[in-house]
């Protein structure tokens, strides 16, 4: 399905030697050194550079939202997409601040934005099925979503982009992500379902119950990652999963955002474990369960800011850290360059 080469460790000694001989004590740049080593492995040991980075926000609606699992109705998905287009959301502010180009993709919001400029149309439908009553989508829709994502990544790769950051928008999508988490990690729904947009205790209980109902309903079908997406996923989660796999196939870096994007990452790793080598985790969300997802993927998030907004905000804020890791690796003097003897 996706032919992803594992990242080579052939030059690890040379990469580590270069890092260790910068004008600093050993390990003094902490996690930036770990990140620099990953960048050098993926982009080349001589001079790894971030070129033309893009942030893709995948938007879609979820049938489960009609059962009251969020503080907001599904209409807000469309309204927020319009906010993205007008440049007024948090992700727009952060992208402008760090110089990151933003692209908004309609994967299947309820109401098509016909004639609206600035939205890429990759619709798989008008919202998914309610996962506690029926499958979210067909296997055919999952495969179609993967192909759409692959084509979009190919487009950006042709523009010279070597880093893709991923975010999402979709009322109800923390329910879908929690169901995926519970399935992949073999956990109870109650341990995976969080407050999402900030729901009260009664709504949280209903959300946990509906996710548990979904897991029960589809239990016999949750046998492989494609079926997990078909039964429990969202149109945006499917396309994020496909985008991660397609980017890794083209040896591009993938910056994963929060809880929902990490659910997509978990499925992507199940489809092809080599994709993990290309992933950078922008931040650890404050959403319940995200830290457990990180442990499952052996991920080290760059930031921990108590955020739970989605949209790709954590991925965007991580970009300067990624650029700093490349910068010190490429530009910082070695002891011999600086004429320093230790």
Catalytic, 3? Answer no
Q: What is the pLDDT of residues 107-144, one digit of tens each?
A: 999 988 888 899 999 999 999 999 999 999 999 999 99
Q: Name the active-site residue from 33, 311, 331, 341.
A: 311
How would you label 187-214 residue by residue, b for 16+ Cβ within 10 Å and e otherwise? bebbebbbbbbebeeebbeebbbbbbbb
* pTM for the whole structure: 0.97
3-state secondary structure of 283: strand
How would you label 167-178 residue by residue, b for 16+ Cβ within 10 Å and e otherwise? bbbbbbbbbbbb
What is the pLDDT, as a whole number, of residue 196?
A: 86
What is the pLDDT, as a whole number, of residue 43?
A: 97
Residues of the chain with pLDDT under 50: none
Q: Which two tokens stand for residue 180?
A: 């995926």
Quote the mean pLDDT of the chain. Answer: 97
What is the pLDDT, as a whole number, of residue 197?
A: 79
What is the pLDDT, as a whole number, of residue 120?
A: 97
Across the beta sheet with 279-281, the strand order is 119-121, 101-108, 54-60, 163-169, 253-256, 279-281
What is the pLDDT, as a whole number, of residue 279?
A: 98
In the CATH hierarchy, which top-level class contains the domain 54-326? alpha beta
Q: Are 229 and 267 in contact (CB under 8 A)?
A: yes
Q: Are 164 and 142 in contact (CB under 8 A)?
A: no
Q: What is the pLDDT of residues 84-100, one digit of tens each?
A: 999 999 999 999 999 99
What is the pLDDT, as a whole number, of residue 51?
A: 98
Q: What is the pLDDT of residues 301-334, one digit of tens each?
A: 999 999 999 999 999 999 999 999 999 999 999 9
Place of tokens 């690796």: 329
Rg (CA), the chain: 20
What is the pLDDT, as a whole number, of residue 338?
A: 87
Rounded CA gap, 161 and 269, in Å?
Answer: 22
Helices (H), the chain: 12-20, 31-43, 75-86, 90-98, 139-158, 173-185, 201-217, 225-232, 235-249, 259-271, 290-296, 313-331, 335-338
Task: Give domain limits for the chain.
Answer: 12-48, 54-326
């Amino acid at each position: 399905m996706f032919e992803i080469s594992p990242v080579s460790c052939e030059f690890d000694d040379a990469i580590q030697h270069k890092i260790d001989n910068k004008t600093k004590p050993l390990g003094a740049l902490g996690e930036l050194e770990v990140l620099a080593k990953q960048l050098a492995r993926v982009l080349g040991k001589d001079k790894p550079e971030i070129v033309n980075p893009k942030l893709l926000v995948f938007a879609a609606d979820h049938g489960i939202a009609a059962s009251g699992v969020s503080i907001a109705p599904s209409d807000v998905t469309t309204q927020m997409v319009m906010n993205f287009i007008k440049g007024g959301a948090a992700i727009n502010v952060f992208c402008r601040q760090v110089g990151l180009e933003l692209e908004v993709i309609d994967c299947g919001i309820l109401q098509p934005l016909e004639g609206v400029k600035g939205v890429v149309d990759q619709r798989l439908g008008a919202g998914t099925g309610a996962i506690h009553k029926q499958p979210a989508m067909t296997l055919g829709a999952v495969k179609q979503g993967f192909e759409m994502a692959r084509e979009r990544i190919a487009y950006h790769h042709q523009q010279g982009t070597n880093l893709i950051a991923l975010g999402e928008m979709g009322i109800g999508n923390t329910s879908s992500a929690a169901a995926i988490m519970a399935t992949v990690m073999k956990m109870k729904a109650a341990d995976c379902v969080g407050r999402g947009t900030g729901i009260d205790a009664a709504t949280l209980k209903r959300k946990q119950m509906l996710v548990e109902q979904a897991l029960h309903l589809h239990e016999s079908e949750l046998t492989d990652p494609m079926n997990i997406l078909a039964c429990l996923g969202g149109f945006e989660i499917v396309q994020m999963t496909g985008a991660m796999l397609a980017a890794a196939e083209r040896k591009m870096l993938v910056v994963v955002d929060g809880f929902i994007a990490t659910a997509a990452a978990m499925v992507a790793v199940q489809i092809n474990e080599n994709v993990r080598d290309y992933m950078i985790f922008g931040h650890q969300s404050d959403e319940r369960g995200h830290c457990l997802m990180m442990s499952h993927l052996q991920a080290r998030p760059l930031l921990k800011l108590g955020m739970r907004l989605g949209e790709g905000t954590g991925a965007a804020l991580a970009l300067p850290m990624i650029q700093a890791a490349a910068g010190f690796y490429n530009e910082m003097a070695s002891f011999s360059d600086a004429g320093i003897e230790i």
